[in-house]
Chain A
Amino acid sequence: MDVMVLTISIPPEAEAKLQQRAAEAGEELQSYVARLVAQFAGPPTPLDDISGPIYQRFLESGMTDDELADVLERAKHEMRAERRGRRQAP
């Protein structure tokens, strides 16, 4: 199999993290990074698979898509208000 050889520069912090993760996975750094890069070049994962049980729970909730949008907008604005509050706190 033909393989492409790339030489890339990464910051020391990223290298340390990758070294740690490769060690945890029981792999050499080079093969671990090559696997990650190949993974990102692969096809996207179907949304149904990423959602998993969440979609089923949504269906069981009886909520409409518009009602879900309202819930999400309220959550986003609550989250932002808290974030602003944290920033302004002494």
Chain B
Amino acid sequence: MTSPPTRTPVVFDCNVFAQALINPRGPAGRCLLLAQQGRVRLFLSDFILNELRELPAKLPVKLGVTLDRVEALIVDLAKYAEPVAKVPSLFTYARDPDDALYVSLALVSGAMLVVSRDLDLLDLMNDANEEGRTLRARFPQFRVLTPPAFLTMVTVE
């Protein structure tokens, strides 16, 4: 008997959701499609959903991103994403304290992986970044990948 394939656990930056909503055919859209297809385990927190809800007010009007569409996406996420109710602070990041909440969710859920285009988050993988170096010394499996790099990783697996 063969065991079912392991689904890669992952945390998405709120902007991966936003980018998937705006350009569903792009890399972010393909990342979310993997979650919809059950090929990856997507973890969520209230903080991420609240960031996603706040975004439309800051986006150019020409993109036409409305709160209704964001809410429709959030309602749909309940069908396939796994909410984590309590996310203890396992990491602090002076450069952007809000990014630390994504890292903490990745650590507490066991995902150990954040997908983001945020340069502050991506820089945690840089050895010149002391906070990133300390984090990865404690959690060697921890990674931050861009959506295209994540797609490559999942395809190769």
Tell me whether chain A's interface is mostly helix, strand or loop, or mixed.
helix
Q: For the side of the interface on B, what is the size category?
A: 35 or more
Residues of A within 8 A of B27 (CB): 65
- Per-position 1/0 for A54-69, Cβ under 8 A of B: 1101100100010011
Q: Which residues 102-139 of B sit at the A interface, judged by CB distance below 8 A?
A: 117-119
B18 partner residues in chain A, CB cutoff 8 A: 72
Answer yes or no: A73 CB below 8 A from chain B CBs.
yes
Is the CB–CB distance between B26 and A57 below 8 Å?
no
Contact segment of A15-23, A27-35, A43-51: A43-51
Interface: B24 (CB within 8 A): yes
Partner of A45, one of B25, B51, B63, B76: B76
Q: Does B58 lie within 8 Å of A75, measured CB to CB?
A: yes
Return B89 CB to nearest CB of chain A, in Å.
16
- Asked if B80 and A44 make an inter-chain contact with CB atoms under 8 angstroms apart, the answer reads yes
Known: A57-B62, A58-B23. A69 touches B15 (CB 8 A): yes
B79 touches A40 (CB 8 A): yes
Q: State whether B76 touches A50 (Cβ < 8 A).
A: yes
Listed residue (A61, A73, A75, A79) with the most chain B CB atoms within 10 angstroms of its CB: A75
- Known contacts A45-B76, A47-B36, then 11 further A-B pairs from the complex at CB < 8 Å, ordered by chain A residue: A47-B24, A50-B24, A50-B76, A61-B63, A71-B59, A71-B60, A72-B18, A73-B117, A73-B118, A78-B58, A83-B98
Q: Which residues of B contact A (CB under 8 A)?
A: 14-15, 18-29, 32-33, 36, 51, 54-55, 57-60, 62-66, 69, 72-73, 76, 78-80, 96, 98, 117-119
